[in-house]
Amino acid sequence: MIADATALARVEVQPLGGTLVSASASGPDGRTIPLSVRDGRLTPRVQLTPGERVSLKAVVRRPGWLGWALGRTLHERMTLRAPVAQVSDRWLTVRRGSLVRVQFDQPVRVVAAGQAGQLRFRPSDPAGRSVSLGRRAAAGSVEVAAAARSWERLGTPVSVSWFPPVRSPVVVSSPAPGAQLTPGAPIRLVFSKPLSAIVGSARPELVPRTRGRWRQADSHTLVFTPAGFGPALATDLRVLLPRAVAVSTAAQGLHIARQLEWTVPTGSLLRLQQLLAQAGYLPVDWQAAGPPVARTPGSELQAAVDPPKGHFTWLYANTPHELRALWSEGQANDITRGAVMMFEHEHNLAVDGLAGTAVWHALLADAIAGKRRAPGYSYVYVHSTVPQSLTLWHNGSTVLTSPGNTGVPAAPTQLGTFPVFEHIPVGTMSGTNPDGSHYHDQGIRYISYFNGGDAIHAFNRASFGTPQSLGCVELPLASAARVWPYTPIGTLVTVEN
């Protein structure tokens, strides 16, 4: 029994030496590998992995006269490995416009090439040791996987790169320069010459500085793997190389440069809303249509720029129509802005209502940890039509409806919806009266500022329900004390006629 060029093995029986009566094969774990036996060739009927160890047994029945002398049957055993086709040269020099050809150390029957995770089968000569990838850009890289036999699975993909014959060292990057860089994705730099001859022990520098580390994947390749959440969303990331090299880009062709640039995409507003809903900062809930996003930095970052499909639902059946009218999925709105402000305040971040890098990182960290805000959702709406009143709604119930005072005609309370931006139990309120005089009122209780100098607060008046303030919403002391705990920073206040 010997190895064969097309089958797994071949049983050779000399003339008058007998007849092959059975053959069997098993894998390293003892499982049976079904065989097809034809003309002494043993071919697996299932796909094997290149390099897989196989144990073979064959039984040959000898002719009667030979069997009398040597025994009726001959048992042969053999252990071998499925062949492995290796790429002969992973760093090719290819003249511009020429075919890119990949050479192997033995004939290959099946070849696939493309970007990682997107390999496509390519035609190959069953007896050939090379495969054409066609005409490509001046420089580039692809993943190539091959099988030496038709009954094998594709082997482990390897990176193959090609470069033009120029005097300067050439670098191929993945992603390509100028492309979008998914946060958390690695950066791969392949050089036309060994690293020892180009950069030595020096390593590129990332600007802005990004957590992570460089490693040498092979003699020609450096890979940067970000740590944590990697480069910030909505930034331009540059890699400064230790020396100038030739860079190939679609826009500039081959040119000498010392830096490569990528754009980190902006986080999706839709995903921002999904995360805020999951964390309990919105009056709506969100459920994914498919499997939930894995609680890992890589998965959450990918979802931040490419949000999963799903649907929002109102948490409470009796949500005020004023609040419902403010919501718009995937679009900027006051509900989302107020939720961001509340999140910023509770995470000790600068409160500006904008989802910057710090907000995204904190949101993603909470999503990974499965954190959810407990207090629930509050909303305040003020009717400025006499008799004027304020209604406090929380978690599906009306907590309080109280008479209140809005601004006089000379200093009206602005209509619209505003998030609370300052929340203090007692303070001093100063300003200018309509007649030009100044006021300086100390000891004002239960203040929630929501629009410039306008605020909900307690005030001592003889009556409530008519315009009497200078733009604020004044409440009796008992009502203000009841409302104040429900109006932290980010709570929405709607003033309507």
Q: pLDDT by residue (tens digit) across 437-462?
A: 999 999 999 999 999 999 999 999 99
Cα gap 388→481, rounded to integer Å = 19
Task: Give the residue carrying structure tokens 């900027």.
Answer: 332
| Cα angle: 69, vertex 70, 71; to 5 degrees | 105
Cβ atoms of 160 and 139 closer than 8 Å = no
Average pLDDT, the chain: 93
Cβ atoms of 478 and 470 closer than 8 Å = no
Give rounded-to-5 percent helix, strand, coil for the chain.
15, 40, 45
pLDDT(66) > 70: no
| Cα angle: 73, vertex 77, 80; to 5 degrees | 155
pLDDT value, residue 168: 93
Class of domain 170-264 as given by CATH: mainly beta
Q: CATH fold of 91-163, please? A: Immunoglobulin-like (2.60.40)
Q: How confident is the model at residue 350 (pLDDT cuts 50, 70, 90)?
A: very high
Q: Over the stretch 17-59, which tens digit does the pLDDT of each residue have?
A: 578 889 999 999 999 999 999 989 999 999 999 999 999 999 8
Class of domain 2-81 as given by CATH: mainly beta
pLDDT(65) > 80: no
Sorted by where each begins, the domain ranges of the chain are: 2-81, 91-163, 170-264, 269-369, 378-496
Cα gap 227→184, rounded to integer Å = 7
Secondary structure letter of residue 469 according to DSSP: B
User: What dotted CATH number matches 378-496?
Assistant: 2.40.440.10
Do 2-81 and 378-496 share a fold? no
- Cβ-proximal residues to 372 (8 Å cutoff; 6+ apart), any chain: 278, 279, 280
pLDDT(69) > 60: no
pLDDT value, residue 495: 98
Number of H helices, E strands in the chain: 8, 32
Task: Give the residue carrying structure tokens 């009266």.
Answer: 433
Secondary structure letter of residue 361 according to DSSP: H
